[in-house]
Chain A
């Protein structure tokens, strides 16, 4: 054994110890935290919350636990929903548009509507409220993840499918050996993006008031809510710091390793130049004992699988069904669909009209228009600010490498934690809430624009830049002919993400408070927030439905068209 080998061997045991401690520590922490989730709780009881920063780590743990639970449920949902949608043509025709609509329902709207239901499901236990919060986070992640998984399943390379069929893999084997691995890189990336959005909602969902039900779940979000009530600015500072650490740890311990691991599943036959790296993954890969342990476990697993009763060889038979049976199935299917649609429409209309005047409905649409105008103007303003900055950063690779993680981090940071500071300033300088609460809506989502533009600008091919230089393009001409067209597709991706997030944020950003002072801006967001506070369901449903309608229309007739154009005209490959 050479000196080098010895050294590596010795080191690998050190890695084992480090890895073991990290794993066990995490397990214990999660076990301890989840015990706290299901404590007895009487309805209306105020859970004591202390603003002493000593308690913040515990609160942070509770918040993280909610995130983890929601993530697990989202994964389960993704696997089942997307697989059914991709495998059954009939299910696909309804499940995919369904997902599209669900994506445009404001997440906090889900929360307002479901929270009392969840409380009723677990009487006398805090678990119900926890579930409501987890559900809200779930809704902010699951649709996006399911969509990505579905799209991957639909684009599995044909020759790999043929190879699997020809060698007779069962559909179960095919799923785990072909489809799931193929979908992994995209799914992980989308999960990371979704979790970034999730922090916003976990914070928003911890302190909820629906009518007379006012619930506070211990966590960073409720800590901030408490700090707002008692006008405690330092406490807000502590909360911000804690959140920062939590997101960093989450990113380093969970997502960096996952992204680096997912590299393996990228469907490319050449090794990419810049592959993702993660110190934690390297650590685990170097840990000698741990590796042999997982390998042993893997082997046991395959032995176990082989003991299971064997399925007969997968005989993929050509479908032989008579056209009559198929037609009959079709008729039944569409019958169910149409009656479901009629029932849904009837429910929606009768529920809303039971508590809302007809005349009010028009007013709600007008409020929607106001919020729409805000969203639109904000997106334009944010683009005007971030496009030039992003391009300049993107053209400088060294700078881009440093700024990019920062922008992604800022996108993950729950912007609602900054709201109190903004309100404090608004009050101090007597600024109009109608205009000055608007920037809060885009505070958290503008970073999507920035980091997409950076990515786009750094992807502009060097030969195009050199050609432009060669022809003496500079200044405004360079921007007009090369840089701006070059970043159109990524800019749109950023704008679409930001747009969705901004609509969502309007519900918490159009009504903000500091101590006993509450500032309200006119709009659909504040309308939903107002009626959520009152616990008036017909009004909430109306507001949520109208907002979804705006988002769907905006998506269909604006974003999607622009996106198609950008994909055909401005693609750089």
Chain B
């Protein structure tokens, strides 16, 4: 049993900013002015939507990436590279498929140069602790997802990290498996059977954060800044059904759906520099139909909706965002409500839906309107997609620009604002019938 000193700071982030170089030499800001302290005995959850830079922040903390501005102090010392005493559990497990469970767990000890006998003993102990005994000589591909992540935990715990980092460690697991693993972990932590003095978990699962953390830090998007911090003063084990728990979950939902600017209320379009969420038209339609029907009748509580439709936050938030951009729905304080145009979309037939959608896309998504205008202005009525990619690269990294353009193209295609030939990468006004005739 080791004694924790809450006055000691394990990690101290001071005013961290990070930007990525884009093709034009300009910089795209991912994180801005993030300050965060983790003390001994704390479990801190970092919540944010995709694109909030939470993975980047985790990589800066672990010393895998360098901050653009600001300082990272680990136990009072500046971080200049991967640090001893920090271990990470990965979303994708990151196990070496050619090593057995035992060899995978020994990996970190190998790097530290622990003698053979000692190494074996410690690795076996860690495997025991996490409940994997009997599988020492198995290869990862023989194991189920839950067991694989247990190997991931054993590999991280065996080096006796002072601070344990978890990068969406439970999100690749099914609900039940994730729950057991979380319970086991919190038990080890509460009974002080692991020497770890602090845990930082990055997640997009709100309930998970409320279940595990002492403190939740919410990152906003574009660029990533700290929006809010919430203390969770509840005792472990926490009851998901307790009113206090539900209330906290609702509160976090409310904070996370808060928009920095009130785009939803104004009828103006989102600018070219907006990260359009990757959402398919039929997902939007499906959600709107569900909202319009029983028992919601046009308005729903977000945690409840996510629960009943089996959505994770990672799936739900982009959908909400898309509906908001297009003015089909409005979110407020953890609730979502269909707008009148959202309702008329649900009532329309297939062809009418296209018409409604087309109108909303051109009015509320500047990128779609821009593409259409460029194609209209050209005598040939054709434009290469690269032309738009280059414009978007002023705002995003290359990959992100590609993703955003793909979203705009999909929406615009469905709305029949323009046609797209994928092989050639050409956007045009030609209708598909003449394309196949060629």
| Residues of A that sit less than 8 Å from B by CB | 157, 159-160, 162-170, 173, 177-178, 181, 264-271, 299, 302-303, 306, 310, 313-318, 565, 568-569
Among B81, B82, B423, the residue within 8 A (CB) of A569 is B423
B86 at the interface (CB under 8 A from A): yes
Q: Is the CB of A178 within 8 A of B111?
A: no
Q: Is the CB of A306 within 8 A of B111?
A: no
| Closest A-B pairs by Cβ, 8 of them | A167-B108, A159-B94, A168-B111, A163-B94, A316-B81, A318-B66, A181-B98, A169-B111
Q: Which residues of B contact A264 (CB under 8 A)?
A: 98, 139
For residue B140, give the distance in angstroms from its CB to the closest CB of chain A.
6
Q: Which residues of A contact B423 (CB under 8 A)?
A: 565, 568-569
The residue among B63, B87, B94, B116 with the most chain A CB atoms within 10 A of its own CB is: B94
How far apart sit A163 and B111, CA to CA, in the bound complex (Å)? 11
Q: Is the CB of A306 within 8 A of B97?
A: no
Given contacts A160-B94, A306-B113, 7 further A-B contacts (CB under 8 A): A163-B94, A165-B82, A167-B87, A167-B108, A167-B111, A178-B96, A318-B81
Give the residue name and chain of the A residue nearest to B109 (CB). A167
For residue B101, give the distance in angstroms from its CB to the closest CB of chain A.
14
How far apart sit A565 and B423, CA to CA, in the bound complex (Å)? 8
How far apart sit A168 and B221, CA to CA, in the bound complex (Å)? 32
Give the residue name and chain of the B residue nearest to A565 (CB). B423
How far apart sit A302 and B141, CA to CA, in the bound complex (Å)? 26
Query: A163-B88, A167-B87 are contacts. A271–B116 as well, Cβ < 8 Å?
Result: no
Give the residue name and chain of the A residue nearest to B99 (CB). A177
Within 8 A of A (CB), among B378-424: 422-423
Q: Which residues of B contact A166 (CB under 8 A)?
A: 62-64, 82, 86-88
How far apart sit A302 and B103, CA to CA, in the bound complex (Å)? 13
Within 8 A of A (CB), among B89-118: 90-92, 94, 96-99, 107-108, 110-113, 115-116
Show 12 residue pairs from A and B whose CB-CB distance is below 8 angstroms, ordered by the A residue: A162-B90, A166-B87, A167-B82, A167-B108, A168-B84, A169-B110, A266-B97, A269-B140, A271-B142, A313-B113, A314-B82, A315-B82
B159 at the interface (CB under 8 A from A): yes
Among B87, B91, B97, the residue within 8 A (CB) of A267 is B97
The residue among B59, B84, B98 with the most chain A CB atoms within 10 A of its own CB is: B98
How far apart sit A165 and B66, CA to CA, in the bound complex (Å)? 14
Q: Is the CB of B94 within 8 A of A265?
A: no
Q: Which residues of B contact A165 (CB under 8 A)?
A: 64, 82
B50 at the interface (CB under 8 A from A): no
Q: Which residues of A contact B15 (CB under 8 A)?
A: none
B80 at the interface (CB under 8 A from A): yes
Give the residue name and chain of the B residue nearest to A266 (CB). B97
Query: A163-B90, A271-B141, A306-B116 are contacts. A169–B97 as well, Cβ < 8 Å?
Result: no
Query: A316-B82, A569-B423 are contacts. A269–B97 as well, Cβ < 8 Å?
Result: yes
Q: Which residues of B contact A299 (CB under 8 A)?
A: 116
Q: Which residues of B contact A565 (CB under 8 A)?
A: 423
Q: Is the CB of A318 within 8 A of B94?
A: no
How far apart sit A303 and B116, CA to CA, in the bound complex (Å)? 7
Among B64, B66, B81, the residue within 8 A (CB) of A315 is B81
Q: Mark B172-194, 1 if CB is under 8 A from A, else 0.
A: 00000000000000000000000
Q: Which residues of A contact B94 (CB under 8 A)?
A: 157, 159-160, 162-163
Q: Which residues of B contact A163 (CB under 8 A)?
A: 88, 90, 94, 107
How far apart sit A384 and B80, CA to CA, in the bound complex (Å)? 61
How far apart sit A218 and B178, CA to CA, in the bound complex (Å)? 67
Q: Is the CB of B64 within 8 A of A173?
A: no
How far apart sit A299 and B63, CA to CA, in the bound complex (Å)? 33
Q: Is the CB of A159 within 8 A of B92?
A: yes
Give the residue name and chain of the A residue nearest to B113 (CB). A310
Q: Is the CB of B90 within 8 A of A159?
A: yes
How far apart sit A94 and B112, CA to CA, in the bound complex (Å)? 36
Give the residue name and chain of the B residue nearest to A302 (CB). B116
How far apart sit A165 and B94, CA to CA, in the bound complex (Å)? 12
How far apart sit A167 and B107, CA to CA, in the bound complex (Å)? 8
Query: A159-B92, A162-B64, A163-B90 are contacts. A169–B107 as well, Cβ < 8 Å?
Result: yes
Give the residue name and chain of the A residue nearest to B145 (CB). A269
How far apart sit A261 and B221, CA to CA, in the bound complex (Å)? 47
Give the residue name and chain of the B residue nearest to A263 (CB). B98
Among B82, B140, B141, the residue within 8 A (CB) of A168 is B82
Q: Which residues of A contact B97 (CB under 8 A)?
A: 265-269
Q: Which residues of B contact A157 (CB under 8 A)?
A: 94
How far apart sit A263 and B300, CA to CA, in the bound complex (Å)? 51
How far apart sit A159 and B97, CA to CA, in the bound complex (Å)? 13
Give the residue name and chain of the A residue nearest to B90 (CB). A159
Q: Which residues of B contact A269 (CB under 8 A)?
A: 97, 140-141, 148
Give the residue name and chain of the A residue nearest to B59 (CB). A162
How far apart sit A315 and B423, CA to CA, in the bound complex (Å)? 45
Among B66, B84, B139, B155, the residue within 8 A (CB) of A313 is B84
Q: Which residues of A contact B81 (CB under 8 A)?
A: 315-318
Q: Which residues of A contact B111 (CB under 8 A)?
A: 167-170, 173, 313-314
Within 8 A of A (CB), among B19-77: 59, 62-64, 66
Give the residue name and chain of the A residue nearest to B140 (CB). A269
Q: Which residues of B contact A569 (CB under 8 A)?
A: 423
How far apart sit A267 and B64, CA to CA, in the bound complex (Å)? 23
How far apart sit A316 and B64, CA to CA, in the bound complex (Å)? 9
How far apart sit A269 and B115, CA to CA, in the bound complex (Å)? 30
How far apart sit A146 and B79, CA to CA, in the bound complex (Å)? 37
For residue A492, give the distance in angstroms from its CB to the closest CB of chain B.
16
How far apart sit A167 and B139, CA to CA, in the bound complex (Å)? 20
The residue among B64, B111, B139, B423 with the most chain A CB atoms within 10 A of its own CB is: B111
How far apart sit A316 and B111, CA to CA, in the bound complex (Å)? 13
Q: Which residues of A contact B86 (CB under 8 A)?
A: 166
How far apart sit A173 and B139, CA to CA, in the bound complex (Å)? 20
Q: Is the CB of A318 within 8 A of B107?
A: no
Q: Which residues of A contact B99 (CB under 8 A)?
A: 177
How far apart sit A270 and B141, CA to CA, in the bound complex (Å)? 5
Q: Which residues of B contact A268 (CB under 8 A)?
A: 97, 141
Give the residue name and chain of the B residue nearest to A564 (CB). B423
For residue B231, give the distance in angstroms from its CB to the closest CB of chain A.
29
How far apart sit A512 and B97, CA to CA, in the bound complex (Å)? 51
Q: Which residues of A contact B88 (CB under 8 A)?
A: 162-163, 166
Q: Is the CB of A317 within 8 A of B141?
A: no
How far apart sit A31 and B139, CA to CA, in the bound complex (Å)? 38
How far apart sit A267 and B80, CA to CA, in the bound complex (Å)? 31
Q: Which residues of B contact A162 (CB under 8 A)?
A: 59, 64, 88, 90, 94
How far apart sit A306 and B96, CA to CA, in the bound complex (Å)? 22
Q: Which residues of A contact B113 (CB under 8 A)?
A: 306, 310, 313
Q: Which residues of A contact B91 (CB under 8 A)?
A: 159
Give the residue name and chain of the B residue nearest to A315 (CB). B81
Q: Is the CB of B142 within 8 A of A168?
A: no
Q: Is the CB of B107 within 8 A of A306?
A: no
Give the residue name and chain of the A residue nearest to B66 (CB). A318
For residue A161, give the distance in angstroms from its CB to the closest CB of chain B.
9
Give the residue name and chain of the A residue nearest to B67 (CB). A318
Q: Which residues of A contact B98 (CB under 8 A)?
A: 181, 264-265
How far apart sit A269 and B141, CA to CA, in the bound complex (Å)? 5
For residue A74, give the distance in angstroms from its CB to the closest CB of chain B.
23
Q: Is the CB of B96 within 8 A of A181?
A: yes
Q: Which residues of B contact A169 (CB under 8 A)?
A: 107, 110-111
For residue B179, give the distance in angstroms from its CB to the closest CB of chain A.
22
For residue A541, give the distance in angstroms from its CB to the closest CB of chain B.
42
How far apart sit A252 and B113, CA to CA, in the bound complex (Å)? 40
Q: Which residues of B contact A317 (CB under 8 A)?
A: 80-81
Query: A264-B98, A267-B97 are contacts. A177–B142 as well, Cβ < 8 Å?
Result: no
Give the residue name and chain of the B residue nearest to A270 (CB). B141
Q: Which residues of A contact B139 (CB under 8 A)?
A: 264
How far apart sit A211 and B220, CA to CA, in the bound complex (Å)? 77
Q: Is the CB of B64 within 8 A of A318?
A: no
Q: Is the CB of B80 within 8 A of A177?
A: no
How far apart sit A317 and B82, CA to CA, in the bound complex (Å)? 8
Query: A302-B116, A569-B423 are contacts. A168–B108 as well, Cβ < 8 Å?
Result: yes
The residue among A164, A167, A310, A314 with the most chain B CB atoms within 10 A of its own CB is: A167
